[in-house]
Chains A and B, each alone.
Chain A
Amino acid sequence: MSKTVANVLIIEDEKQIRRFVRAALEEENCQVTEAQTIAQGLIEAGQSKPDLIILDLGLPDGDGLALIRDLRSWSDVPVLILSARTQEIEKIAALDAGADDYLSKPFNVGELRARVRAMLRRRARTGEQASPLVEFGAISVDLSRRLVTRQSQPVHLTPLEYRLLSALLSQPGKVLTQRSLLHNIWGPTYIDSSHYLRVYVGHLRQKLEDDPAQPKHFLTETGVGYRFQL
């Protein structure tokens, strides 16, 4: 199934967690490197050039955020955060610093494998020529012609709705924080006006989802932000 073996770095201080994460990754045909501290993690990240980093935010020797910022200055390797469910603020900070996704503890192996697969797939695709055509459900979006159709019927979107849609589509699977979306689409003065974002995501769901109350593509990460899923 796998053409090239993906290289994954786990930075986690708890031995038993490393153990089952490693087992799950090896099941996905990944080659696994382990680190127990931030310092060790940075060294490994530089040496083994991983395709994915799994990072526990609660490490004993310091702040995982610092590692992400440091890493982002020289690498765009995807980072998956492991964090407790209640710490939304911590997750937001990590995502804003450049992390790509998060898993709330405790998580099961199936969930972990699904996330890892999705992230590796995305990374593999970044090299390819991006297609201007995105299709999900009954919707098809032609980014080159700014055309959105639903079952071949054109759907009218306002300029802001279209900008929000293309921002979400540009990074499928990735969690985009409220702050970053507000900043990119409405501008820095709207960073605290989260109701704009929420109302416009609602519009997109009304126009593009089968059941807006139970969306399948424009997903809410409560307290954190949004994720577009193909």
Chain B
Amino acid sequence: MKRQMDGKVSLLDQATDKFSRWQSLALSVLACAGTTLIATPLLNYLDLANIVMLFLLTVFLVAVSLGRQAAILASVLSVVLFDIFFVPPRFSLAVNDIQYLVTFAVMLATGLITAHLAAGLRQQARESRYRAQRTHALYQVAHQLAGALTVTQVVAMTHKFITNELKTKSAILLPNENEQLLAASLESKAMTVDLTFARAAFEKGERVYNKELGNMGYAPLYLPLRASMRIRGVLAVQFAKQSQETTDDLVSLLEALSSLCGVALERLHYVEVAQATEVKMLTERLRSSILSALSHDLRTPLTAMVGLADSLALIKPPLNPMALEIAQALQEQATRLSSMVSNLLDMARLNAGKVVLRREWQPLEEVVGASIKLLGTTLDQHKIKVSLPRDLPLLNFDAVLIERVLCNLLENASKYAPPNTDIILTAHVQAREVQISIADEGKGFPDENRENLFNMFVRGESETEHAGTGLGLAICKAIIESHDGRILADNQASGGACVSFTLPLGSPPIIEQEAP
């Protein structure tokens, strides 16, 4: 406690005192000597009691203007001078009348008490002046921090405040993306920071003080830069002098500063987030408008090609069979090209990761039926056997996208399985999901490379006679994963291929029963 008091005084004295310690002691001696000189000619007119008053006045004035130590010196000196120059026998320390000892004692006690009280007042005045100054400085730094535009500015402003107001060294540590604390700037190279203590302050959100660390040349005090959402970093402080320790005042000042700094850093963080979001939104809008323009521009000529090839068959007089066959082939190729373009555009859209799912609770049966209907003649050469459990609950999915998955899988199966075989679609409920499987009686998937089947542009057989871009399964995977499901390709024991995917069960909405 004593040390702290001393520290405080020394800190304050630095800022406010006009005189050094020796100067004030000398002035105190001069004041007492002056009083003696003035009082000596008055001895004939005044009582000794009144002379004592003059000395007490001097002690009081010294206490108010020069501080405690000067006042104590003045008290002692006043008693001595009063004794020597005024109390008979004069010019000696001896005393004739014993009662003067009481005068001396009272005089000394009054002097010392006055010195103490006056010095206390003086110190309080200085402290409140100092507080006002500090508040003003904090206000100014708060004002500056509110206008800071970059992290570097915030750090520089904080350092400047600490250097100017506290004359100490400091460092600010900020976390990187991996939450590792890194020194944003070391104000001075002579300053060393202990990362373990900084980390502790950062994680616990409390200040850490270790005096031993200071003795070893490290910064002893670590303050978290606290803001409303989280801790934004750590302020490390190394005091210039050993005497300048962590007084309550100093710590609360530093805490105020670090919270100002934290708030400024948080504000900058959110400005950054807002800007990033805006850029992302603009990019997204651009991407989707390019995609839809592309899809319109590509589809228009494809539609014309398919239709024109078709209408060759309507020409009168009819074309010869050879030409009609070519027209048919043209139509088929254009249709295929169109489905490839659709695949590419869908993949681009899904890859952008921003397909908004229009999820609705619905029976699986419906989308299965719609997929089979949509494929139409493609499945003519196979028998599709659908077996779904009667009590299958409603599932929450985007019907258009899941229809896409089912179409791709059924089309694949019909492409690779020999004609007049069965394609079997089954579903069963597992723990928290429904697994849907499509199995065929073809050759199955090749053993190697099965993991890669779901990657873009990978095909089961590289030298295949079947047309395709290798995007079908990749699209399925992207769609299923956006529904929080899994998809995997396997071969059945009987040899045919089997692709299964899962959809989460969730809790379907309740359908109110109507009165029959």
Contacts and interface: CB of A to CB of B under 8 A. Distances in A.
A47 interface: no
B274 interface: no
Given A17-B307, A107-B307, A215-B369, A199 B386 contact: no
Interface in A5-44: 14, 16-17, 19-21, 23-24, 27
A85 B302 CA distance: 13
Interface in A206-224: 211-215, 219-223
Nearest to B301: A16
Contact of B311 (A24, A194, A205): A24
Contacts of B516: 156, 158
B411 interface: no
A107 B331 CA distance: 10
Contact of A193 (B314, B386, B509): B509
Contact of B307 (A109, A201, A205, A213): A109
B400 A201 contact: no
21 contacts: A14-B304, A16-B308, A19-B308, A20-B310, A23-B314, A84-B296, A85-B342, A86-B346, A105-B299, A106-B334, A106-B335, A112-B307, A158-B516, A194-B361, A195-B508, A198-B366, A198-B394, A201-B366, A222-B370, A223-B400, A223-B403
Interface in A172-230: 193-196, 198-199, 201-202, 205, 211-215, 219-223
Contacts of A62: none
The 10 closest A-B pairs by CB, nearest first: A16-B304, A109-B310, A20-B307, A106-B303, A223-B400, A195-B361, A220-B370, A20-B311, A106-B306, A213-B386
A204 to B, nearest CB: 11
Interface in B279-314: 295-296, 299-308, 310-311, 313-314
Contacts of B331: 108
Contacts of B370: 219-222
Interface in A129-182: 156, 158-160
B363 A202 contact: yes
A127 interface: no
Contacts of A219: 370, 373
B366 A202 contact: yes
Nearest to B306: A106
Given A17-B303, A202-B365, A86 B295 contact: yes
A177 B299 CA distance: 25
Interface of B: 295-296, 299-308, 310-311, 313-314, 331, 334-335, 338, 342, 345-346, 358, 360-363, 365-370, 372-374, 384, 386, 388, 394, 399-400, 403, 508-509, 511, 514, 516
Nearest to B371: A222
Interface in A27-84: 27, 58, 82, 84
B300 A24 contact: no
- Among B301, B373, B388, max chain A CB count under 10 A is at B373
B512 to A, nearest CB: 9
B514 A213 contact: no
A88 interface: yes
Contacts of A212: 365, 369
Interface in A110-141: 110, 112
Contacts, number: 131
Interface of A: 14, 16-17, 19-21, 23-24, 27, 58, 82, 84-86, 88, 105-110, 112, 156, 158-160, 193-196, 198-199, 201-202, 205, 211-215, 219-223
Contacts of B386: 211, 213-214
A13 to B, nearest CB: 9
A213 B369 contact: yes
A158 B370 CA distance: 25
A20 B304 contact: yes
A153 B374 CA distance: 32
Contacts of B307: 16-17, 20-21, 24, 106-109, 112
Contacts of A112: 307
Contacts of A106: 299, 302-303, 305-307, 334-335, 338
A39 B272 CA distance: 48
A85 B292 CA distance: 12
B511 A108 contact: no
A125 to B, nearest CB: 25
A88 B400 contact: yes
Given A106-B334, A108-B335, A196 B511 contact: yes
A194 B360 contact: yes
B400 A222 contact: yes
Nearest to B368: A213
B304 A17 contact: yes
Given A17-B300, A21-B307, A105-B299, A160 B514 contact: yes
A127 B394 CA distance: 42
B398 to A, nearest CB: 8
A223 B303 CA distance: 22
A109 B315 CA distance: 13
Nearest to A84: B299
A196 B346 CA distance: 30
A213 B299 contact: no
A27 B302 CA distance: 22
Contacts of A85: 342
A99 to B, nearest CB: 18
B514 A159 contact: yes
Contacts of A108: 306-307, 310, 331, 335
B304 A109 contact: no
Contact of B363 (A199, A221, A222): A199
B356 to A, nearest CB: 11
A107 to B, nearest CB: 7
A91 to B, nearest CB: 11
Contacts of B313: 109
Contacts of A109: 307, 310-311, 313-314
